[in-house]
Copies of this chain bind each other. A is one copy, B any other.
């Protein structure tokens, strides 16, 4: 029953691997790692056409309480992405432009929050990207302890501190830190493969032929009428 702890030293994936994953995109990474790791589809960006990747700095706090946000920022290293999950569902606005200012100074590249965010216009102006479940201004209190850099569940996924988070317009995916290099390799291979297919499809070939689907469709009994 270990609770109310701040883990100060966590391992992170190498920066070049994190950056490599950012360039691959959520859908590709999700496929490349065996269709695992997608956060729930209610995690939506407050901005458009932005992709980021970072090392998860995890924050577990009580519903409606953002005290641990302040504790967490002190632990941040450049390239981190904040991942906040309340211990029960809540739409409060846990994070706004002041916290973003402080986080950005320390090199934090974004926020993933299964809760609410506010000052969204300012956050977009600051180029501080956020994926959240809610946009809501409701204020928070600072009364109950929580934990920083412990494993937590956020939007259907287990996230360990130091796991790699990738987020873009399609949503958010988590990659285990120790699998990050392999997933990057698999993602790049997949991208190359997709590029080849894109050219063939753009030339008018059909997926039915490229993937050789016709025999199996016939065998299963598809009827053309």
- Measured CB to CB, the residues of A under 8 A from B are 1, 3-8, 25-27, 30-31, 33-36, 38, 40-41, 44, 48-49, 51, 62-64, 67, 69-71, 73-74, 87-93, 96-99, 101-102, 105-106, 116, 118-121, 124, 134-139, 141-145, 151, 153, 156-158, 168-171, 173, 179, 182, 194, 197-198, 201-204, 206-208, 211, 213, 217, 220-225
Closest chain B residue, CB of each to CB of A69: B207
Given A88-B64, A170-B119, A213-B67, residue A136 in contact with residue B1 (CB < 8 A): no
Query: For the complex, what is the distance from the CA of A54 to the CA of B134, rounded to whole Å?
Result: 25
Contact status of A64 and B67, CB under 8 A, knowing A98-B197, A137-B173, A143-B143: no
CB-CB nearest in chain B for A139? B35
Partner of A120, one of B7, B93, B169: B169
Contact A169 B67, beta carbon cutoff 8 Å: no
Collect the chain B residues with CB atoms within 8 Å of residue A48's CB.
121
Task: Tell me the nearest residue of chain B to A138, going by C-beta.
Answer: B88
The residue on B at minimum CB distance from A5 is: B223
Chain B neighbourhood of A135, CB < 8 A: 41, 44, 169-171
Residue of A33, A137, A170 ringed by the most chain B CB atoms within 10 A: A137
Q: How far is the CA of A207 from the CA of B95 in the complex (A)?
A: 13
Contacts of A168 in B (CB 8 A): 121
Q: Is the CB of A4 within 8 A of B221?
A: yes
Rounded to whole angstroms, the CA-CA distance of A105 and B96 in the bound complex is: 36
Contact A153 B158 (CB under 8 A): yes
Contact call A27/B223, Cβ cutoff below 8 A: no
Q: Which of B63, B96, B194 contacts A64 (CB 8 A)?
A: B63
Q: How far is the CB of A98 from chain B (nearest CB, A)?
A: 6
Which of B87, B92, B142, B197 is the one whose CB lies under 8 Å from A36?
B87
Docked pose: A90 CA to B88 CA in angstroms:
9
Pick from A48, A102, A170 the residue with the most CB of B within 10 Å.
A170
